[in-house]
Amino acid sequence: MDKIAKSLSRLSATEKITFKKILLSIRDDKWKGLDVKKLKGYDNIFRIRKGRLRIIISKMDSSIKVVKIERRTDKIYKLNF
């Protein structure tokens, strides 16, 4: 089981629905309603905030990769590449 699947299994049903809505918005290029912020020290890493849920994404040209999904804690922003 990869990290993203494991993180998704820990989320509640409402958080999974929220995550799906966020992914659909990103796929349809509707970034306007999302709370997106670039992370310090990275050129192409962003966080999306929705309530207690944090989604860390990597944006390369036209592709977007989900790096991490977690509830808000201090360790969410510590990325290990």
**Nearest C-alpha neighbor of 69 from the set 1, 20, 4:** 4
For residue 49, pLDDT over 90 is answered with yes
Domains of the chain by range and CATH? 3-74 (3.30.2310.20)
Give, in order, the Cα–Cα distances in Å from 76 to each of 32, 62, 67: 23, 25, 11
Q: How confident is the model at residue 21 (pLDDT cuts 50, 70, 90)?
A: very high
Q: How confident is the model at residue 4 (pLDDT cuts 50, 70, 90)?
A: confident
